[in-house]
Amino acid sequence: MSEDLDRRHFLARLWTWGLGVMAGAAAWTSWDFLQPVAGQSGGPVATVSPDKIPTDSVLEIPAMRGYLTEIEGATEAIWWKCPHLGCKVPWCETSGQFECPCHGSVYNRKGEYRRGPAPRGMDRFEFTIINGVVVPDTSKIIRGAPAGSPETINEPPKGPECLDPTAG
Amino acid sequence: MSDDKPTQPSNVRVLGFVEGKPLVGDRKVPEEEDSVMVWPHLLIRHGVVALAVMVFVLGISLFFNAPLKEMANPSVTPNPEKAPWYFAALQELLSRFHPLVAGVLVPGAIIVGLLALPFIDRNPDTRMRNRRIAVATFTIFMVAWIILTLIGFAFRGPNWGWVWPWQEWYGEL
Amino acid sequence: MSLMDTIRKSAPGRAIWRTPRRVTDRDRAAAHWGSFLLHIYPVRMRREQISFRWSWFLGVASMVLFGSLIASGIYLMFFYVPSPSTAYGDIIFLQTKVAFGQYIRNIHRWSAHLMVLAVAAHMARMFYRGAYKPPREFNWIVGVVLLVLTLLLSFTGYLLPWDQLAYWAVTIGTSMTEFVPFIGGTVGGMLLGGTEVGAQTLLRFYVLHVAVLPTLLVGIIMIHLWRWRKDSMLDMEVASE
């Protein structure tokens, strides 16, 4: 009698485990299946020669979803997506800084956090120079420094901001 | 009521009256707790509601066109950029607090709080006057949420600055 | 004798309805019990619960709007291909070249907004009714899930016209997932199918909007209504004790 019950319980447990394994396999398969497909989340984008990059402003490159700028001889490839909620951050020529109209985050020319609700500075792309052309890889993202980190360049706003709340 | 007294035919002799309910049709005045047949009492109401709702939808669809802006363009963010109206309260919070707080913790807490509500409020009484704390708490949260939604929907303009909706209208549906 | 009575008393009518007589409450109860369309309703309900001030009929209004969304949504699907190169043009074509195309789109859009409103108002009304208290705790939870599903349905549909309104609202909405600890980045990537709103995102949102979420919603509505019927009948037992 007790042997019978033991076998019955053993089989019941086996079925439960079997179902659990199948559910796990289904979850694992679905999870991997729905990951972004490689090649559809960015890649190398050929842009311009480094000597065409301005040293006091930025150059917008729509194909790479970002801006190129030069700071103390070093090229920076900055992603235009606001690290707050993903709006495109426009460059404000009059103040010489990035100003996001969505929620008012402001960044300096290097994309470093200045103020606003964003949690960190703007993200940048890794890039290489191939045949004299800057080639950022939009799938290789360097996250910006957290809000509150000191700015590494000394470029205070040079004029009125585009983000004037009384404008518009 | 007129049929409280039974009518007495003139050509028959009445031996007596038997009091009681008729077999068919119940004529007594119904109480709130009494039950009624769903068919037709509830179904007719649902039918009227369905017709009213559909007339309303089909009516406003005649006069108001669904919005359609320019084609999506990843290199131009409209200013102001508005979320759908039911997320306007969240967007308003997001402009003031860290995204982890406003975008994750607050909505998460609302959903978990609503799910857990039956097990937080253990008072079995359903009469309003016996559950003042629950009603007051819910009302405060609901009114706050409605106000935030209205602000985000109608009172925000370029650069998420304050505008008066009767001066400039930036709400999107 | 009405036409319906004649039909019910014919041989096919008896085969379908099984209860030809509709005279006493007992006949009606038997007919109700035997009807597929009516089986989501209880046979009897307390009088106060079928009044306007009990529920403001917001639940049934939500159901009607959902029906309107299914019907208008099927019409829209005939003219829509979820790809960035075609989606916007399809909407323009629908609005300018298809008879009643703009009208059907209006119905879908306004029904969607009204459904979000009706579901949220239904929840608030049921709170003030105390309808989350025993024996209705579980149905309240099901209702919260339905509210979340309704919001997700509305939000996934918001992207499909592929206009500026859609693109940037969804960019903001999906950016919020990045801040969810641990899994946020991965879940955001799964929603977008990439690093920004693009072709994969449109396709994914379309599949969620026309297949995954409506199926879930219909299934969970069935649980919600079944439980509503059971709980209404439980109320009557309590009342008759």
The Cα of A70 is separated from the nearest Cα of chain B by a number of Å equal to 22
The answer to whether C108 touches C69, Cβ cutoff 8 Å, is: yes
Q: How many CA atoms lie within 13 A of C169 on its CB side?
A: 26
Is there a single domain that holds both residue C183 and residue C225?
yes
Taking the CA of residue B168 and the nearest CA in chain C, the distance in Å comes to 18
Of C213, C95, C197, residue with least CA distance to B75: C197
- Domain shared by C26 and C83, yes or no: no
Cross-chain Cβ contact C193/A138 below 8 Å: no
Would you say how long chain A is, in residues?
168
Nearest in space to A85 (alpha carbons), one of A54, A116, A61: A116
At B30 the pLDDT is 66
Looking at the fold, whether C221 and C108 belong to one and the same domain comes out as: yes
Is the pLDDT score of C77 beyond 90?
Answer: yes
Give the mean pLDDT of C146-171: 95
Amino acid at A133: V
| CA C184/CA C135 separation, integer angstroms | 36
Of A85, A119, A138, the CB nearest to C172: A85
Q: What letter does residue A155 receive in the DSSP assignment?
A: -
Buried b (16+ CB within 10 A) or exposed e, B114-129: beebbeebeeeeeeee
Domain match, C27 and C59 both? no
Position B6 scores a pLDDT of 61
- Write the pLDDT tens digit of every residue in A80-129: 999 888 889 999 988 889 998 888 889 999 999 998 888 899 999 999 98
Confidence of residue C240 (pLDDT cuts 50, 70, 90): low
Residue-averaged pLDDT of chain A: 87
What end-to-end distance do the CA atoms of chain C give, in Å?
39
Whether residue B153 contacts residue B84, with contact meaning beta carbons closer than 8 Å, is answered with no
**What pLDDT score was predicted for residue C162?**
96
Partner A contacted by B84 (CB < 8 A):
no
Tell me which chain A residues have a C-beta less than 8 angstroms from the C-beta of B101.
none
Name the minimum distance, in Å, from the CA of A37 to any CA of chain C. Answer: 7
Same domain, C19 and C85: no
Res B13 pLDDT > 80: no
For chain B, the domains span 34-65, 85-160
Residue C40 lies in a domain: no
CA pair distance C52, A117, nearest whole angstrom:
46
Q: Is C177 on the interface with A (CB under 8 A)?
A: no
Question: What gap in Å lies between CA B153 and CA B148, rounded to an integer?
Answer: 8
Pair C217, C161 in one domain: yes
**Three-state SS at A69:** strand
Nearest beta carbon to residue A85 from set B74, B99, B100: B99
- Residue C169 inside a domain? The answer is yes
Interface contact B138, partner C, CB < 8 A: yes
B19 contacts chain C (CB < 8 A) = no
Q: What does the DSSP assignment read for C115-137?
A: HHHHHHHHHHHHHHHTTTSTT-H
Which residue, C32, C225, C26, is CA-closest to C139?
C225
Nearest to C115 by CA among C148, C69, C157: C69
CB–CB contact B50 C148 (8 Å): no
| Least trusted range by pLDDT, from A114-118, B62-66, C149-153 | A114-118
CA distance C117 to chain A (A): 26
Element (H, E) at A99: strand A97-99
C189 to A85: CB separation less than 8 angstroms, yes or no: no
Instruction: Please tell me the distance in Å from B17's CA to the nearest CA on chain C.
Output: 24
Determine contact, residues A162/A98, Cβ cutoff 8 Å: no
Three-state DSSP at B84 gives: coil
- Measured CA to CA, the distance from residue C6 to residue C25 in angstroms comes to 19
Among A115-124, A130-139, C81-90, the range with the most confident prediction by mean pLDDT is C81-90
Does B2 score more than 50 pLDDT? no
The boundaries of the domain holding residue C162 are 54-233
Q: How far is A87 from chain B (nearest CA, A)?
A: 6
Peptide bond before C134: cis, by omega within 30 degrees of 0? no
Q: Of how many residues is chain C composed?
A: 241
- C110 and C23 in a single domain? The answer is no
SS3 C4: helix
- Give yes or no for residue B52 having a pLDDT over 90: yes
C49 within domain boundaries: no
Contact list, B100 vs chain A (CB under 8 Å): 119
- Do C190 and C144 reside in the same domain of the chain? yes
B57, C65 contact by CB (below 8 A) = yes
Residues of chain A contacting C196 with CB distance shorter than 8 Å: 65, 81, 86
* Cβ neighbours, 10 Å, residue C234: 14
On whether both C112 and C3 belong to a single domain, the answer is no
The residue in chain C having the minimum alpha-carbon distance to the alpha carbon of residue B122 is C133
ipTM of the complex: 0.92
CA distance C102 to B35: 46
Strands A106-107 and B35-37: unpaired
CA dihedral A145, A146, A150, A154 (to 10 degrees): 50
What is the count of residue pairs from B and C with beta carbons less than 8 Å apart?
203
Which of B77, B101, B104 should be substituted to probe chain A, the one whose Cβ sees the most A Cβ atoms within 10 Å?
A: B77
- Phi-psi category of A131—alpha, beta or left, where left has phi over 0 and alpha has psi -120 to 50? left
Query: Which residues in chain C have Cβ-Cβ distances shorter than 8 Å to A139?
Result: 195
Residue C86 lies in a domain: yes
Are both C72 and C162 inside the same structural domain? yes
Alpha helices in C160-212 (DSSP H): 164-175, 184-192, 199-207
Closest CA to B32 of A129, C66, C239, C237: C239
**Average pLDDT of the segment spanning B67-79:** 91
Chain A residues near residue C168 by CB distance under 8 angstroms:
87
| Tens-digit pLDDT profile for residues B18-30 | 777 666 665 566 6
If asked whether residues C69 and C179 sit together in one domain, one would say yes
Within this chain, do residues C19 and C111 fall inside the same structural domain, yes or no?
A: no
Look at chain C and report how many structural domains it folds into: 2
- Record: contact A62-B81, CB cut-off 8 A: no
Report residue C59 as tokens.
Answer: 């639940």
Residue C240 lies in a domain: no
Residue C150 DSSP SS3: helix
CB contact under 8 A, B94 and A84: yes
pLDDT at C122 over 90: yes
Write the residue in A104, A166, A167 that is nearest to B160 by C-beta. Answer: A104
Mean pLDDT along residues C164-187: 88
